């Protein structure tokens, strides 16, 4: 049995409403784009990307990268491993990088640094969750869902030690005895 409880923070309905708003912002911002490359940063963003792209009305291509820095911990290792790179080219293209959560900022800053070396026309960042109080590396966010407090969260694709990604809502983790 897990040695922690999950307390609801953001409901499935609140997430769905926010995704409609984020998609509307992205559709407006990229309305003149021939094709938008949506880059999903796995694994945590797989649920968010699936819901978000179905609300986009601009022509879209989807590609994925896999990055990892937390392992089974609630603390970043600050060592970002790029486990899988993009399959396609982004030179001269309009790109939105889709992330589930920005916490210290290490993961995204490393991915952004790498993608910028490939000279995209536009590279913008969309995150469902943002924990501003934990930031160690500054990251400009173009499309942001929710600012959340300094608590470890799970659900809607986001894990603790690979568990809880299947929860339809977002909740905070509370270890027994804390």
Residues involved in catalysis: 103
Among 103, 125, 155, 167, binds ligand PRP (CB under 6 A): 103
158 binds ligand HPA (CB under 6 A): yes
Segment contacting ligand PRP (CB under 6 A): 11-19, 65-73, 89-97, 114-122?
65-73
Give per-residue burial for 35-58: e unless 16+ CB within 10 Å, then b.
Answer: ebbbbbbbbbbbbbbebbbeebeb
Residue from 22, 36, 53, 104 that binds ligand PRP (CB under 6 A)?
A: 104
Is 173 an interacting residue with respect to ligand PRP (CB under 6 A)? Answer: no
Residues contacting ligand PRP: total by CB under 6 A: 19
Residue 31 sits at φ, ψ, to 5 deg, of -65, -25
Nearer to ligand PRP, 36 or 65 (CB): 65
Phi, psi of 26 (to 5 degrees): -70, -45
> How far apart (Å, rounded) are the C-alpha atoms in residues 143 and 146?
10
């Amino acid at each position: 049995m897990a040695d922690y409880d999950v307390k609801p923070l953001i409901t499935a309905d609140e997430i769905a409403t926010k995704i409609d708003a984020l998609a509307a912002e992205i559709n407006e911002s990229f309305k003149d784009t021939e094709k938008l490359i949506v880059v999903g940063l796995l694994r945590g963003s797989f649920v968010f990307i699936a819901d978000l792209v179905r609300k986009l009305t601009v022509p879209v291509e989807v590609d994925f990268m896999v990055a990892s820095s937390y392992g089974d911990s609630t603390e970043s290792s600050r060592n970002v491993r790029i486990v899988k790179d993009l399959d396609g080219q982004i030179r001269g293209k309009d790109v939105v990088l889709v992330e589930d959560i920005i916490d210290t900022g290490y993961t995204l800053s490393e991915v952004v640094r790498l993608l910028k070396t490939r000279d995209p026309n536009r590279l913008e960042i969309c995150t469902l969750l943002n924990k501003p109080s934990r930031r160690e590396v500054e990251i400009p966010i173009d499309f942001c869902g929710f600012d959340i407090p300094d608590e470890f969260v799970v659900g809607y694709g986001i894990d603790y030690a690979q568990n809880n990604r299947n929860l339809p809502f977002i909740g905070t983790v509370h270890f027994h005895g804390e």
